[in-house]
Amino acid sequence: MSLRVGSPVPGRVVALSAVPDPVFAQAMVGPGVAVEPARSRSDVVSPVDGTVVTLHPHAFVVATSDGAAVLVHLGIDTVKRKGEGFELHVVKGEQVLAGQRIVTWDPAEVEAAGFAPICPIIALDATAESLGDLALDVDVAANDALFDWSR
């Protein structure tokens, strides 16, 4: 069984190693990719169908019915913003569909505040070998495929 993981934001897909944070860059949290987001106010969408199991203004996790969980992190060290500049549209425990709006934010504003707006998208509890068809060094729209996760 394979799970298609979509991009939560529009932008350019890059390798996790490009993320300016060693925890993400060295895939300590898990394998995946990152998106260098377009610098305009935009909606962040769910990468998969599932349940919002973790929700913060700057990060969220959606778990599928079969237990796969995908982490989306909006920028690096953005927890320090304490929610400023992020508008939530769902609640923890809510069922969501791939492509459904979760958060609205402005990556240019995040960058102007001194934070890297890059967005890691991580397959939690996965191996690098279980991810295929990685979109790298390409431009994507929100909900375009980033990778397939063989489960």
Instruction: Please check whether residue 105 is in contact with residue 42, taking contact to mean a CB–CB distance below 8 angstroms.
Output: yes
Catalytic residue among 56, 58, 73, 89: 73
End-to-end Cα spacing for the chain: 5
Structure tokens at 132: 């295929």
Is 73 marked active-site?
Answer: yes
SS in 3 state form for the chain? CEEEEECCCCEEEEEHHHCCCHHHHCCCCCCEEEEEECCCCEEEECCCCEEEEEEECCEEEEECCCCCEEEEECCCCHHHHCCCCCEECCCCCCEECCCCEEEEECHHHHHHCCCCCCEEEEEECCCHHHEECCCCCCEECCCCEEEEEEC
- Supply the residues annotated as catalytic: 73
